[in-house]
Chains A and B, each alone.
Chain A
Amino acid sequence: MTIRTELDQDAQKLTIAIHGRFDFSAHKDFRDSYEGLDARPHKYSIDMREAVYIDSSALGMLLLLRDHAGGDNADVEIVNCNADVKKILTISNFDQLFTIH
């Protein structure tokens, strides 16, 4: 599992792309990708195009990101979800907390 990040200075948006299995082993890398940045992005985008698997610990990590990004005031979207990922997000009703494409 690898993570690639991209910061768009103008749009103040941080894109975090997940490659591989998004499970418990991704915990530290995922946190590191958004913590300790100098910039304070207003928007976060999680790109799931290359993610092959997502489980409940990944959902937990997304919640932590949302807290970091301002909780109820956070603007976090999850994009490029394949059918399996979307299914998990739907059953958990995470669309009530995140914008999901």
Chain B
Amino acid sequence: MNAKTPGSGANRVLVADDNAVDRKLLATIVGRAGFEVIQAVDGNDAVEKFYAEKPDMVLLDALMPGKDGFAVAEEIKANSGDGFVPIIFLTSLTEATELARCVDAGGDDFLSKPYNRVILQAKLYALQRMRDVHQTVQTQRDEIAKHHMQLVADQEAAKAVFDNVASARNLEAPYIKYLLSPLALFNGDVMLAAQNPANNLYIMLGDFTGHGLAAAIGAMPLSDVFYGMTAKGFSLAEVVRECNRKLGSVLPSGYFCCAAALVVDFSRYTVEYWNGGLPSAYLRKLGNSELTPLASKHLPLGILPHDQFKDDTLIHEVSPGDRLFMATDGVIEARNSQGEYFGAERLESLVVNSPAESLFGSVRNGVYDFIGAHESDDDITMVEITVVAEEQLQAVNLQDSLDELGGPKDWKFSYELGPSSLKDFNPLPLLQQVLMGAPYLRVRASAIYTVLAELYSNALEHGVLGLRSELKSSAEGFAQYYQARAKALDQVSGSVRFEVEGSIQETQVELRIRVKDSGKGFDYESYLERARSSETTAGYHGRGVRLLWDLCETVEFRDPGNEVEVTMQWEHGYE
């Protein structure tokens, strides 16, 4: 007879039988099969030897005095922890109920008397293989668990970076309500918000293709461009154009970002928007039962090359109390337990029918009710902006200390844009940048930018392009105005010239800005007369010359009306 060598490590067998003859016979058979044998003479001995010797398998006599085999088996199984210790019951019991009891107690197999060497060996080898497999599975499971923990840690780190960089900052204002999906790192949602130097609110929602790190990585250059350019005073068209260019260079082919961006101008009361691939945003006017959809007209960011990218935006008039609502497709695609989609119709109905003050909450609750979800299950990214009167805006954080007296104390420069520049180039960020080179001007950065913007837009639109601002006073006229603007700009011929002088003497700061356009001028006397006499005419909210009067010490028009000079003066340290 040959002793067959059993498989890997699992070769220690506990033999428990109170009958000395049986035990001896078994021990011999098992030993000859290549296993190491540990003997136990009864139930209690079996349990003791199990703890002490830690056998890999157990042969257990069912009926033993004192603690019987069933009790021993139960105890062994309960105390094997993660391991698998096969138990073979030795029994002369043949009745089904008795055998069932063996199984219930945890037996993995039976061996009946008289003992057949071949059968016993076969059973032992089989169980040994099972034990080996079990061991392998456990090892693999532990490996996987370890890698998984690493993965989770990596993702948490990625999420922390993502939260710092790309998710909503600057959104703690009462007129902004938002939800950013807690799964944003994984579903590709991004929400960016910032104020430009004129305190206009720029908001961009993005939805990257792909999930997880692929989306998070795209979010970072996007947010760099967005925040950087907004802070410098670039226009919405310029921001989305650069976002497209940046993503086009960073993302692999086939990856893109559906995005929509709004700019709310709280002094001119307009909303400008660009939407490439997100579901329609909505403008709900106060007291109106209609929604104005702000629909997707463009390809998502990151697809078109720079020279083909379309940055045209649309502008609507707004008034205090109007609300803007924007969401990624997580809302429309939210599903209930029957697999139905929430859908655009339901969303629109909620947006238009909910009471204005609780619009955001109503939409949010409407979605949650529909999907029957707890808050932590949601995958919703949406934002609501209420148009408020300018006075209610949160002030932008003052950037630098009020004590800065450094920088040039006495300077001037002039800057002129010719026709080929007027069409495509926005000089405001550059001018602002230059002016901020004088640190003592920074405390009024916002007002300065606003003044520059107002002077420039007047010079360009009314002076050079010859557009009449009266058009803007009706809703249809408003849209026509901007269409006419785009058309005229395409064929512009003319120039705009800035002359700027700044000085600080002791603590007295003076900034003088002169803008002259190549147009033929206008009857500014009557215009100023009208402006002086009217109170807050509807649609006039601080636009035009009233804005300049608010922010500047002096405002002077010069004949024939194509030149304006303003001065801003203040006591440094007292602002």
Contact = CB atoms under 8 A, between A and B. Distances in A.
Interface of A: 56-57, 59-61, 63-64, 67, 72, 91-94, 96-97
Nearest to A94: B299
B299 A61 contact: no
B254 A92 contact: no
Contacts of B206: none
A64 B254 CA distance: 5
Interface of B: 207, 209-210, 253-256, 258, 276-279, 296-300, 303, 308
A91 B277 contact: yes
A56 B279 CA distance: 13
Contacts of B296: 91-93
A67 B253 contact: yes
Q: Tell me the interface secondary structure of chain A in the complex.
A: helix
Given A91-B279, A93-B296, A59 B253 contact: no
A92 B300 contact: yes
B256 A63 contact: yes
Q: Tell me the interface secondary structure of chain B in the complex.
A: loop
Given A60-B256, A63-B303, A93 B276 contact: yes
A56 B254 contact: no
Contacts of A72: 308
A8 B303 CA distance: 30
Which of A56, A59, A60 has the most CB atoms of chain B within a 10 A radius of its CB?
A: A56
Nearest to A95: B299
Contacts of B209: 56-57, 59-60
Contacts, number: 41
A56 B277 CA distance: 10
Nearest to B209: A56
Contacts of B258: 56, 92
A57 B209 CA distance: 6
B278 to A, nearest CB: 8
A16 to B, nearest CB: 16
A53 B443 CA distance: 55
Contacts of A60: 209-210, 254-256
Contact of A64 (B207, B210, B253): B253
Given A63-B254, A63-B303, A93-B299, A57 B210 contact: yes
A96 B222 CA distance: 23
A92 B296 CA distance: 7
Contact of A97 (B253, B255, B277, B299): B299
Which of B210, B278, B299, B308 has the most CB atoms of chain A within a 10 A radius of its CB?
A: B299
A64 B253 CA distance: 6
A64 B303 CA distance: 11
A77 B254 CA distance: 17
16 contacts: A56-B258, A57-B209, A59-B209, A60-B209, A60-B255, A61-B254, A63-B256, A91-B278, A91-B296, A92-B258, A92-B277, A92-B296, A93-B296, A93-B298, A93-B299, A97-B299
